[in-house]
Amino acid sequence: MGCCLFAIIGAIWPRLALIFIYLFTTLPQLVFKTTLWPLLGFLFVPTTTLAYELCVHYLGRLEDNLWSLLIVLLAFLHDLTQLGLARRPAR
């Protein structure tokens, strides 16, 4: 039940899911070597950052696993569409 709830939160509010990860796990320290990339990812591409953290931790490096790369690319496309929708004027 908890994993499904976290997946729903991550899909709807990726920044909230990232905050939960930073507060309650050591995942960011395991995946990233610096705090710059997670911070920039939180600000600009939160879905991609969340997908990258989970894929690298659970599936391995992106270079070693095609599924990890595909998931991160889809997350990046999702972030791009969200940026496009936010900048579109309302009619």
Domain ranges of the chain: 2-87
Q: What is the pLDDT of residue 1?
A: 57
Determine whether 26 is exposed, middle or buried from the number of CB atoms within 10 Å of its CB (0-12, 13-18, 19+): exposed
Q: What is the pLDDT of residue 90?
A: 61
Q: What is the pLDDT of residue 87?
A: 65
pTM: predicted TM-score of the whole model, two decimal places: 0.84
pLDDT in tens, 20-33: 999 999 988 889 99
Question: Contact, 52 vs 45, CB < 8 A?
Answer: no
How does residue 63 score in pLDDT terms, banded at 50, 70 and 90? confident
Please, where are the H alpha helices in the chain?
A: 2-12, 14-24, 27-31, 36-44, 46-59, 66-87
Determine whether 90 is exposed, middle or buried from the number of CB atoms within 10 Å of its CB (0-12, 13-18, 19+): exposed
Question: Contact, 81 vs 48, CB < 8 A?
Answer: no
